[in-house]
């Protein structure tokens, strides 16, 4: 009987504890006042706003979250998000106002302060106020030294200013925090070291050799570091050393070997060994690396040597790998001209292109990047209406968006 009573008491205490915990979760002491955090959830605006946010419908999210904050003026995180949405819409002034007003609150914890400052830094960066952005991110790091977003944004700011050494120093801190979990770090560190080396190279600083070497040691996939190291050696009359650097690129990153093709072809010719270029292309072709690029390079090499028929065969082999590459077609037209427009060869070429999957009139969904040969009114992949635009070749968009918390 006593044990039963005891158990009941324990259970009751447990229930009371749970209830107290729930209440604690719901209420938060601010400015000595109790604020009911459930109030936000009692209006549809908060929920609707979050859903629009997830769905990337920024205007509707702003509308609904704005309504929600007018009901609960204390909701820090909702205001923070609202400010970020203004920034995403390009309304930097409004974003700055919202975030600066939040900073004025006397009751912010250090963590909250750090996050509002981070948002403010992003606003400034977005608006092009470099110094104020730098200041904000450095302030975040003073409050929260391991804040990865602040570090990454600081790195990007330094990169924008071509302050490569500072960017490298910051990225090393990021790599330390990540502790090997982020495979991109080595690649980024390699590219930053390459930029430092490139500046040294332009300033005729002999340290450039060591810096390029360090970039390659950091990440052997740093293609421009191999190229620059070779160029540097070539400039000093060390052609064999240059070839060694470029051949190391081919060995380390065979799928990007074509970046060294022109240099190697020229160097082999200067060294009186043009056959080495032919052998290199054949090696890459045999391993099916890159498909069309070594074939195109080989055909150019053969055409330069007057072997137009062999060049033409290489081109027809290259074409199925990448039928959209205008460079192959142009080379074929030149080869056909050199071969007096032999009707049999033209027929082979036409046959081949007929079977290739061409996007005669390429279109792309603005929302999900689904590709189609014709414009569609309804995207079969993301099911949006009227999202197709003509696809044109254009420089790639910044892909670092996710890392810097910036809107794409």
- Contacting range for Zn ion; rule: CB under 5 A; set: 16-24, 230-238, 333-341, 367-375: 367-375
Say how many C-beta atoms besides its own lie within 10 A of residue 138's C-beta: 13
> Is 364 a binder of Zn ion (CB under 5 A)?
no
φ, ψ of residue 108 in degrees (nearest 5) = -75, 140
* Closer residue to Zn ion, CB minimum distance, 141 or 365: 365
- Contacting range for Zn ion; rule: CB under 5 A; set: 109-117, 297-305, 332-340, 357-365: 357-365
Helix (H, G, I), strand (E, B) or coil at 214: helix
User: What contacts 204, CB < 8 A, 6 or more positions away?
Assistant: none
Q: Residue 238 corresponds to which tokens in the numbers above?
A: 């060390």
- Contacting range for Zn ion; rule: CB under 5 A; set: 47-55, 69-77, 324-332, 371-379: 371-379
Least distance CB 19 / Zn ion (angstroms): 48
The label of the residue with tokens 């033209």 reads 346
Beta bridge partners, 88, equal: none
* Closer residue to Zn ion, CB minimum distance, 285 or 379: 379
> Is 97 a binder of Zn ion (CB under 5 A)?
no
Q: Count H helices, E strands: the chain?
A: 21, 5
> Is 389 a binder of Zn ion (CB under 5 A)?
no
**Binder to Zn ion among 152, 284, 285, 379 (CB under 5 A)?**
379
Least distance CB 374 / Zn ion (angstroms): 14
- Contacting range for Zn ion; rule: CB under 5 A; set: 36-44, 139-147, 151-159, 361-369: 361-369
Centroid of chain to Cα 48: 31
> Is 363 a binder of Zn ion (CB under 5 A)?
no
**Binder to Zn ion among 259, 381, 403, 405 (CB under 5 A)?**
381
> Is 370 a binder of Zn ion (CB under 5 A)?
yes
Measured CA to CA, the distance from residue 297 to residue 295 in angstroms comes to 5
* E strand segments, 31-93: 33-36
**Binder to Zn ion among 368, 371, 386, 398 (CB under 5 A)?**
368
- Contacting range for Zn ion; rule: CB under 5 A; set: 164-172, 255-263, 339-347, 378-386: 378-386
CA 23 → CA 18, 68, 393, distances in Å?
Answer: 9, 22, 57
User: What contacts 402, CB < 8 A, 6 or more positions away?
Assistant: none
Residues in contact with Zn ion by the rule CB under 5 A: 365, 367-368, 370, 379, 381-382
């Amino acid at each position: 009987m006593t044990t039963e009573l005891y158990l009941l008491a324990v259970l009751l205490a447990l229930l009371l504890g749970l209830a107290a915990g729930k209440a604690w979760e719901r209420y938060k002491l601010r400015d000595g006042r109790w604020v009911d955090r459930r109030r936000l959830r009692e209006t549809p605006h908060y929920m609707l706003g979050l859903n629009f946010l997830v769905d990337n419908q920024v205007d509707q999210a702003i509308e609904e979250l704005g309504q929600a904050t007018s009901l609960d003026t204390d909701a820090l995180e909702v205001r923070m998000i609202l400010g970020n949405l203004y920034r995403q819409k390009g309304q930097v002034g409004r974003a700055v106002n919202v975030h600066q007003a939040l900073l004025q609150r006397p009751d912010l914890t250090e963590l909250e302060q750090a996050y509002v400052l981070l948002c403010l830094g992003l606003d400034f960066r977005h608006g092009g106020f470099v110094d104020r952005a730098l200041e904000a991110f450095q302030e975040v790091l003073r409050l929260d030294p391991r804040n990865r977003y602040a570090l990454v944004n600081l790195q990007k700011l330094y990169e924008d200013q071509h302050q490569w050494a500072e960017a490298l120093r910051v990225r090393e801190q990021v790599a330390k925090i990540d502790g090997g979990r982020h495979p991109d770090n080595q690649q980024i560190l390699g590219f930053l070291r390459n930029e430092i080396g490139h500046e040294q190279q332009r300033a005729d600083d002999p340290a450039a050799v060591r810096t390029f070497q360090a970039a390659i040691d950091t990440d052997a996939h740093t293609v421009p570091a191999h190229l620059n190291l070779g160029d540097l050696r070539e400039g000093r009359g060390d052609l064999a050393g240059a070839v060694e650097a470029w051949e190391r690129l081919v060995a380390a990153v065979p799928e990007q070997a074509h970046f060294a093709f022109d240099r190697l072809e020229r160097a082999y010719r200067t060294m009186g060994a043009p056959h080495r270029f032919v052998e290199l292309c054949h090696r890459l072709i045999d391993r099916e690396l890159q498909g069309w690029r070594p074939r195109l390079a080989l055909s150019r090499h053969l055409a330069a040597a007057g072997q137009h028929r062999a060049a033409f065969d290489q081109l027809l082999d290259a074409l199925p790998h990448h039928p959209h590459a205008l460079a192959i077609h142009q080379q074929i037209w030149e080869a056909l001209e050199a071969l007096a427009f032999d009707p049999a060869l033209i027929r082979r070429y036409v046959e081949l292109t007929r079977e290739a999957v061409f996007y005669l009139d390429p279109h792309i969904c603005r929302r999900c990047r689904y590709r189609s040969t014709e414009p569609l009114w309804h995207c079969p992949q993301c099911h949006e209406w009227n999202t197709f635009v003509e696809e044109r070749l254009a420089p790639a968009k910044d892909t670092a968006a996710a890392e810097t918390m910036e809107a794409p």
